Amino acid sequence: MNRNMIRQMQQLQAKILKTQEELGQETIEGTAGGGAVRIVMTGHQKVQSVTIDPEAAEDVELLQDLLVTAFNDAQEKVAALVARRMGPLTGGLGLPGL
């Protein structure tokens, strides 16, 4: 590889690492039941908080379904965020974990 290509790869790697770090600082909110259950998750898919409307807690089976839906909603939103932020950097290279 020539020096220019190596430098470009190093710059790309630095941009990817910076973007991954920034993703960990961003939060996404997943909801279910019209907001009865709210899940806040980071761009690294770490749950920061769960908020449950007291009325939703009266029906345990419904609450369980709402929690699953809210978690899935948050994860889908995180995946979309990662794709938006990392896609331009990886240029469709299909790199695992990015």
Read off the pLDDT of residues 56-92 as tens digits, 9 standing for 90 and up. 889 999 999 999 999 999 999 999 998 888 888 777 5
DSSP states of 12-78: HHHHHHHHHHHHHH-EEEEEEGGGTEEEEEETTS-EEEEEE-TTGGGSHHHHHHHHHHHHHHHHHHH
Tally of residues, the chain: 98
Domains present along the chain, CATH in parentheses = 3-89 (3.30.1310.10)
- pLDDT of 94 reads 54
The pTM assigned to this predicted structure is 0.74
Question: CA angle, 97 as apex, 73 and 65 as ends, to 5°?
Answer: 20
